[in-house]
Structure 1
């Protein structure tokens, strides 16, 4: 049973964390990023996709590279790439119950937009569980895995990092929170499209871990249920 009795602030990434990668939402976002670059920079599809992934690896997000090198408006980019179909995403009653049982504050911390987080969390039936959504705009467009957005998040919400746990699907994105003193949980996925992502930047799969990862789970709801039970026993 994971000992999270010290946790007062529960921080969740959004995509491929609050929902599983098998839901196929991120491949839609990925395809729209390629289309945005293709159309805006007048490139062919293959060239646009290569550039997209190159910027993702070098800058943390494709958008950061486009902002830095092509003066792309971030809000326009976010609005375009998050225009996806989430009709198949169903309410997750188990996750909702698990979140309800957690003591303390709950946050979504995403490299996406507030609007996208609200749409997805709303479809999952868990939006009401969160005290706030900290998105890429709130971070000053500095993306995870950079340290700066984590520091800004903790400072703006007056959070002692030792009282917080971060749930993430990308191993690299847990390095900074670990260094800052947060407990880290890696959420694993299992979907065929993961093979197409850059190795160091793809959502984690079974067997993935690192020294800066405290806990690993392939079932977020079950992990939260166990964690809340452990907290109840400890108290």
Structure 2
């Protein structure tokens, strides 16, 4: 095995390890802030699965995309199980409804990518996303203090970043007519949320430094996505988004630490 292949194998192993670490973290929901963080992540995972389904269909790092889709599905299932065990009584019905719908959506994700069946999958995945939205709304109603806002904003940023890749991948595969998402709408929402995060009164000096780095990375990612409007560059957009996602996860940890203090 040459040096290049060794490096590629090491990176692949690291990515799988990070994904499995994410599954393990999902099982640790020890506070209401943790519940909010996980319910927000449920929304993001619907887009992570859709993104990797599309990348696999396009043949863009297909093997890694298949692995990432399986890992996201596993993480979604683990989080559902944990939420059903710790969520407040008024959330239980919503979690149960999501779990039932998830079983059907997961079966669709296990099928080979097919344009003829895509609209059905996309519609079912969006229904799952709407259920996750409702679950998050209910979770927020039980946590009215200021610690909920930053976690919600960070979760929304992660969702929007994944959706940015989704619209490029849908365009590349020729199925963009199934969505009303657009670069302009997503980029405007990302910038609005960024400004809200930077203005939060509970931000520490360390968090403000993280936010500054995040803002720079976000603008770089949006520049890549806008460089050639309509260009079929989902892999390039995805790579630029990965850095933003990693910084958002670090920021989420910082806000969770504040909430638990």
Does TM-score exceed 0.5, indicating one fold? Answer: no
Q: What TM-score do the two structures reach when normalised by structure 2? A: 0.29
Structure with the bigger percentage of helix: 2
Larger Rg: 2
Q: What TM-score do the two structures reach when normalised by structure 1? A: 0.31
